[in-house]
């Protein structure tokens, strides 16, 4: 498939919210497409009407909008290879089903679910294949007359692929190399169901990848076992010259590394496994999302990019454009990637540091508003600058900064007990007296005044500073004390000192 424009697809089934593993699959597709100047296509694989969940497609589209990964084609943006919802492509699939039946590469089967179940009970490891198909009820074991009569009588049927046994099937995988299987391990998979006039995943996937001119199929490892069947289907449909390149991405594993990451791991350890909050329409349950938890989309993408791929070296923070430049499938690992969710928090922390104080202040504004604070933007920007290195999420800034905005100070008992000494009230009165005439309340100026004073009196600096901090902050924490002094300003500093003297007897 050389010399062709790169075209990749992300092909979710709308059976619920998008899992974080799906986001990573989509991201790798996106990076690969953009690096090659190719197209990134969204295809909704909604052929399983039993598992269809209303709202799931909208959720998927909204997730990518938030993440900033835009599709070149898809149900929401259109394109020349549509429709992009498989349920709207019934007629197309039926043509290929007919073609396979005519060429006797597929056959019609009438076995009911009960009959199939009975077979499974009777024969352990029962597989519908060359060794068993003639003992089943299908167009190979029945006469063409009987077959036609059943169809005419309206009996529902499925169409199964006819796999020839003992043949070597090779899948070329860009991550795993050549994967070879013996066709005898494959069963005669169902390709089509008359009941809903829809194909199953396998047929729809192959037909659409072909008709949409997909050049690279980049998807999760869980689809690797289906790839040999897909290769056979390409051949049966006469498309062996156009089989796309495959790349099966490593699994995302539990943070502990034992087994596949699941929603339960997120619930157990307190991290989201979905990009956005999800309201389950059936159960009414609400699941947390990365967006609502306070993650930046670029931090989340950076975190996900490195789960299963690494450009080499120690660097970890990359912009989306840098990821596009650096990404390569041959640097993807074959083995699963532990979902180290704490690393995700670390990335969000890094991104807070990388963003300007003004940008973070803007995001902090609504949080302040919720706490009834209405402060000048300039002040908020300064406060953010002093405290952002202490948080992973913007929301956490409130806890780190409330004393900058609160008019009444609440004193933490423990801090008072430890830091407010018998002579503290007296010392704080002296601070009031020396600061009263000062006009320049900049951090460095007030610091030199207070420090000179302490030195001249030969006071214990720690004791004074501790008491001063309790008076201003209410407890033993916060950034550099004189930075706080500068930001809250003279009037407020003096007032808090007076209040502490009265209240902390
Ligand atoms: N519909 C499949 C899914 O939900 C697509 C798998 C593939 O990419 O072939 O993941």
* Distance of CA 433 from the midpoint of ligand 1 (Å): 73
* Distance of CA 502 from the midpoint of ligand 1 (Å): 68
- pLDDT tens sequence for the chain (505 residues): 457 999 999 999 999 999 999 999 999 999 999 999 999 999 999 999 889 999 999 999 999 999 999 999 999 999 999 999 999 999 999 999 999 999 999 999 999 999 999 999 999 999 999 999 999 999 999 999 999 999 999 999 999 999 999 999 999 999 999 999 999 999 999 999 999 999 999 999 999 999 999 999 999 999 999 999 999 999 999 999 999 999 999 999 999 999 999 999 999 999 999 999 999 999 999 999 999 999 999 999 999 999 999 999 999 999 999 999 999 999 999 999 999 999 999 999 999 999 999 999 999 999 999 999 999 999 999 999 999 999 999 999 999 999 999 866 789 999 999 999 999 999 999 999 999 999 999 999 999 999 999 999 999 999 999 999 999 999 999 999 999 999 999 999 999 999 999 999 7
Closest CA to 459 of 479, 492, 434, 476: 434
| Atom of ligand 1 at shortest range from CA of 219 | 8
* Distance of CA 321 from the midpoint of ligand 1 (Å): 26
Question: What is the best residue among 201, 208, 231, 248 to mutate for testing ligand 1's pocket, by most ligand atoms within 8 Å of CB?
Answer: 201
> Is 428 in contact with 466 (CB distance < 8 Å)?
no
Torsions phi, psi of 150, nearest 5?
-65, -45
> Is 108 in contact with 162 (CB distance < 8 Å)?
no
Name the token pair of 142: 């029945």
The helix/strand/coil state of 178 is strand
Say which residues have a Cβ less than 8 Å from residue 263's Cβ, sequence separation at least 6: 19, 273, 287
> Is 7 in contact with 213 (CB distance < 8 Å)?
yes
* Distance of CA 207 from the midpoint of ligand 1 (Å): 13
| Atom of ligand 1 at shortest range from CA of 9 | 8
| Atom of ligand 1 at shortest range from CA of 12 | 4
Distance in angstroms (rounded) separating the CA atoms of residues 115 and 242: 38
CA atoms within 13 A on the CB side of 407: 5
Helices (H), 36-143: 56-67, 90-102, 113-122
Alpha carbon separation from 5 to 2, 8, 83, 257 (Å, rounded): 8, 10, 20, 38
Q: Which residues sit with their C-beta closer than 6 Å to ligand 1?
A: 11-13, 45, 201, 205, 219, 223
* Distance of CA 195 from the midpoint of ligand 1 (Å): 22
Question: What is the best residue among 7, 9, 13 to mutate for testing ligand 1's pocket, by most ligand atoms within 8 Å of CB?
Answer: 13
Distance in angstroms (rounded) separating the CA atoms of residues 304 and 21: 9
> Is 331 in contact with 310 (CB distance < 8 Å)?
yes
Closest CA to 122 of 109, 138, 135: 135
Residue nearest to atom 10 of ligand 1 (CA): 12
* Distance of CA 41 from the midpoint of ligand 1 (Å): 13
Q: What is the dihedral of CA 113, 116, 117, 122, to 10 degrees?
A: 160
Question: What is the best residue among 223, 234, 248, 249 to mutate for testing ligand 1's pocket, by most ligand atoms within 8 Å of CB?
Answer: 223
pLDDT value of residue 49: 84
| Atom of ligand 1 at shortest range from CA of 205 | 9
Question: Exposed, middle or buried, 91 (CB in 10 Å: 0-12/13-18/19+)?
Answer: exposed
Distance in angstroms (rounded) separating the CA atoms of residues 304 and 308: 8
Distance in angstroms (rounded) separating the CA atoms of residues 389 and 70: 32
Residue nearest to atom 5 of ligand 1 (CA): 11
| Atom of ligand 1 at shortest range from CA of 25 | 8
Catalytic residues: 263
Helices (H), 371-436: 377-387, 397-405, 413-419, 424-435
| Atom of ligand 1 at shortest range from CA of 209 | 9
Neighbours of 203 (CB within 10 A): 26
pLDDT value of residue 459: 96
Whole-structure pTM value = 0.94
Question: What is the best residue among 9, 12, 22 to mutate for testing ligand 1's pocket, by most ligand atoms within 8 Å of CB?
Answer: 12
* Distance of CA 316 from the midpoint of ligand 1 (Å): 29
Distance in angstroms (rounded) separating the CA atoms of residues 100 and 86: 19
Domains of the chain, with CATH numbers? 87-249 (3.90.800.10), 263-351 (1.10.1160.10), 355-405 (1.10.8), 413-504 (1.10.10.350)
* Distance of CA 278 from the midpoint of ligand 1 (Å): 20
Residue nearest to atom 6 of ligand 1 (CA): 11
pLDDT value of residue 505: 79
> Is 420 in contact with 504 (CB distance < 8 Å)?
yes
> Interior CA angle at 113 toward 14 and 53, to 5°?
15
């Amino acid at each position: 498939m050389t010399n062709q424009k790169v075209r990749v697809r992300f092909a979710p089934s709308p059976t619920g919210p998008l899992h974080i593993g799906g986001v990573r699959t989509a991201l790798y597709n996106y990076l690969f497409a953009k690096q090659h100047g190719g197209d990134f296509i969204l295809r909704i694989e909604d052929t399983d009407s039993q598992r269809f969940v209303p709202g799931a497609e909208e959720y998927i589209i909204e997730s990518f909008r938030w993440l900033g990964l835009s599709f070149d084609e898809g149900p929401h943006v259109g394109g020349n290879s549509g429709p992009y919802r498989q349920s709207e492509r019934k007629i197309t699939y039926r043509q290929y089903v007919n073609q396979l039946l005519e060429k006797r590469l597929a056959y019609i089967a009438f076995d009911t679910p009960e009959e199939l179940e009975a077979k499974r009970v009777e024969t352990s490891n029962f597989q519908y294949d060359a060794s068993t198909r003639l003992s089943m009820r299908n167009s190979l074991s029945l006469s063409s007359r009987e077959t036609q009569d059943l169809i005419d009588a309206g009996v529902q049927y499925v169409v199964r692929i006819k796999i020839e046994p003992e043949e070597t099937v090779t899948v070329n995988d860009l991550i795993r190399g050549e994967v070879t299987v013996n066709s005898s391990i494959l069963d005669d998979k169902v390709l089509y169901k008359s009941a809903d006039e829809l194909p199953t995943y396998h047929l729809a996937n192959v037909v659409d990848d072909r008709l949409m001119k997909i050049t690279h199929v980049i998807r999760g490892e869980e689809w690797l076992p289906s790839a040999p069947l897909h290769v056979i289907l390409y051949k049966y449909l006469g498309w062996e010259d156009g089989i796309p390149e495959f790349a099966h991405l490593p699994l995302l594993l539990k943070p502990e590394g034992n087994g596949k990451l699941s929603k339960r791991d997120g619930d157990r350890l307190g991290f989201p496994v979905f990009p956005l909050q999800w309201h389950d329409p059936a159960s009414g349950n609400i699941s947390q999302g990365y967006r609502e938890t306070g993650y930046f989309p670029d931090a989340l993408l950076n975190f996900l990019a490195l789960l299963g791929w690494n450009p080499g070296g120690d660097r970890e923070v990359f912009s989306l454009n840098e990821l596009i430049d650096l990404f390569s499938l041959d640097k993807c690992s074959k083995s699963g990637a532990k979902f180290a969710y704490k690393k995700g928090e670390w990335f969000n922390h890094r991104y807070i540091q990388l963003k300007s104080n003004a940008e973070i202040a803007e995001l902090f504004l609504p949080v302040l508003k919720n706490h009834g604070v209405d402060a000048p933007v300039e002040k908020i920007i300064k406060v953010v600058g002093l405290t952002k290195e202490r948080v992973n999420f913007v929301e956490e800034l409130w806890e780190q900064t409330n004393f900058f905005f609160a008019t009444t100070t609440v004193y933490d008992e423990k801090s008072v007990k430890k830091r407010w000494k018998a002579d503290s009230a007296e010392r704080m009165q002296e601070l009031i007296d020396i600061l009263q005439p000062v006009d320049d309340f900049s951090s460095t100026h007030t610091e030199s005044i207070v420090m000179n004073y302490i030195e001249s009196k030969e006071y214990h600096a720690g004791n004074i500073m501790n008491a001063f901090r309790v008076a201003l902050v209410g407890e033993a924490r916060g950034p550099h004390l004189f930075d706080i002094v500068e930001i809250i300003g003279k009037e407020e500093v003096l007032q808090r000192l007076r209040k502490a003297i009265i209240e902390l007897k």
